[in-house]
Amino acid sequence: MEQGFYYQVHGFTLYSEIECPALLPASAGTPDLSVRFGSLAHLPPHATHPYRSHCISRMHMLLNIEDVGRFSVKDGREIIVDPAPDAEPKMIRLFLL
């Protein structure tokens, strides 16, 4: 794994590129879940309806939060965060936790 933080959450090991001080630290190892920064520009902003802030399919969820960013959750194990310009870290964490 790259630089980041490891946490214990409900019996799972979480690797996160985003520091989450409210979570219990864990030893580095093979994570069950991961949170990473990445571009989600290739995904349509509102795939199902122009007024919804989310799009859900069987194995994927896309969440758009104005002034915070976009969150892609795949297979219940991987979260990609594409922060909005000037998004505050505490606001990003709010939607992760």
Mean pLDDT by groups of 10 residues along the chain of 97 residues: 86 95 93 96 63 71 90 94 95 91
Q: What does the pLDDT read at residue 74?
A: 94
How far is the C-alpha of 62 from the C-alpha of 41, rounded, in Å? Answer: 12
What is the rounded end-to-end Cα distance, in angstroms, of the chain? 22
Q: What does the pLDDT read at residue 81?
A: 97
pTM > 0.75? yes
Angle at 69 between CA 2 and CA 21, to 5 degrees: 50
